[in-house]
A and B are shown apart, each in its own frame.
Chain A
């Protein structure tokens, strides 16, 4: 019992630190990749190839003065970044990132590489994502600034619109995998078809994967859907009035949300930790590679595509993505019912 408790605590700490480090790494990757795509160098001075740049940024942010507008609502202004960051961290708790392992015989019982194995994990992620919106809206409202309020309102309208397609895409995967537990869904993707095509759900659900990724980018407020903080119109959107560490918490939440969406996409569509050449106990390496690939795609998108117009965003969400995901769900349901996919 005590070993189980200790391993669980260690696992939780490892996941927490891993998420923090992944956010730091993503900041570096984003800046270097952006520079590469724009034919400049980016941060290369701090540490080897600029690898220590994120840590320099964090130290700078920590020592900055914490400012609060005089007419802001003090309680909600302080609460908003906390809600954002907490929701971002909490969502990853139900994401499995590797097959159960004993760490080469170190433990007497195999440990599932997941903080909490909930049998409705998919819905938990969905629920926590819907709670994260409150952080942004509260930040927008409590700042008592026009830019912040517009950013907050846009963000909530965007998230409400794209959450539907996101949920319907998820439902199609649940139908195929016949489970709501992420671990079971990943294990349903083990093996290959015809000897070489991996049994990933992305091959059964190509449209679903497209919808999931599009809605996921909109949910995480990333370009080309970064309306809540559209620089040219809204200065910095909902976090215009934030400085120092409370700004850093919004920043952190954005990057961790990206990592979480990528990890969920990997688990749902790309076979999680299943892959060739590696034993299953080292499957988490495959998991990291796949998540890295999706994150690279995220950054690539941001520096390649221009931002949509706001009415285009709404029209695309309601008139294209939602009908598509409905059709996808109906076709999937019919397929499962008649062919038993």
Chain B
């Protein structure tokens, strides 16, 4: 086994193990940290695929943005352990609701995997090296995928506006007429 294959299996194992642990343990802080570990392993896989730009963006955008999630966990939840009587007897994942939902998700995933394998994904046509260049990624993003790119940015803008509207305090005591100090 070459060193590259070894690295692939190592990163893959870390990614899968960390992702499983994200949902398998109860402390939200640890969940967030494990999610970062999982993203880090994915970024390592991108480096192995000769796409350092995507790898770094993965870290900046995903692992960096988790920071905000982290703050929410620390500030809003501030409850390291979900402690109710039921929790102490049964692990959250083994309760009937999550188990049914998880079974549905697993079924969908299995069907998708079977569908993808049946179609025979052509991995030979991968243009090795071509996607590593920032210039190439930028050009195709703003020409071939310009519509998708713009729609995504509008979607994010809508989400931002929605967050502001939801987060705004609608307290009549704080509402003032324009011009009033």
Interface residues, chain A, CB within 8 Å of chain B?
Answer: 73, 76, 118-120, 123-124, 126-127, 130-131, 133-134, 137-138, 141, 149, 152-153, 156-157, 160, 163, 180
Contact = CB atoms under 8 A, between A and B. Distances in A.
Given A120-B52, A137-B67, A153 B75 contact: yes
A228 to B, nearest CB: 14
Interface residues of B, number: 19
Contacts of B70: 134, 137, 156
B42 interface: no
Contact of B74 (A123, A133, A153): A153
Interface stretch (B10-18, B55-63, B146-154): B55-63
Given A119-B52, A134-B36, A126 B74 contact: no
Contacts of B75: 153
Contacts of A141: 29, 74
B164 interface: no
Looking at chain A's contact residues, the main secondary structure is helix
Contacts of B80: 73
Nearest to B80: A73
Given A120-B52, A120-B134, A133 B67 contact: yes
Given A118-B52, A120-B52, A180-B134, A134 B60 contact: no
Residue in B36, B60, B63, B68 whose Cβ sees the most chain A Cβ within 10 Å: B60
Given A137-B67, A141-B29, A126 B60 contact: yes
A130 B56 contact: no
Given A133-B67, A156-B70, 9 more contacts: A76-B33, A120-B52, A123-B60, A126-B56, A141-B29, A156-B67, A156-B71, A160-B67, A160-B68
A130 B74 contact: no
Interface of B: 29, 33, 36, 52-53, 56-57, 59-60, 63-64, 67-68, 70-71, 74-75, 80, 134
A87 B67 CA distance: 15
B71 A130 contact: no
Nearest to A142: B29
B63 A131 contact: yes
Contact of B56 (A127, A133, A137, A152): A127
A137 B29 CA distance: 11
Nearest to A152: B74
Contacts of A157: 71
11 contacts: A73-B29, A76-B33, A118-B52, A123-B56, A126-B56, A127-B56, A131-B64, A133-B67, A153-B74, A160-B67, A180-B134
A309 B71 CA distance: 22
Contact of B60 (A76, A127, A152): A127
Shortest Cβ-Cβ A-B pairs, 7 listed = A130-B64, A127-B59, A123-B56, A127-B60, A127-B56, A120-B53, A120-B52
A145 to B, nearest CB: 13
Contacts of B52: 118-120
Contacts of A138: 33
A141 B36 CA distance: 17
A123 B56 CA distance: 7
A153 B29 contact: no
Contacts of A126: 56, 60
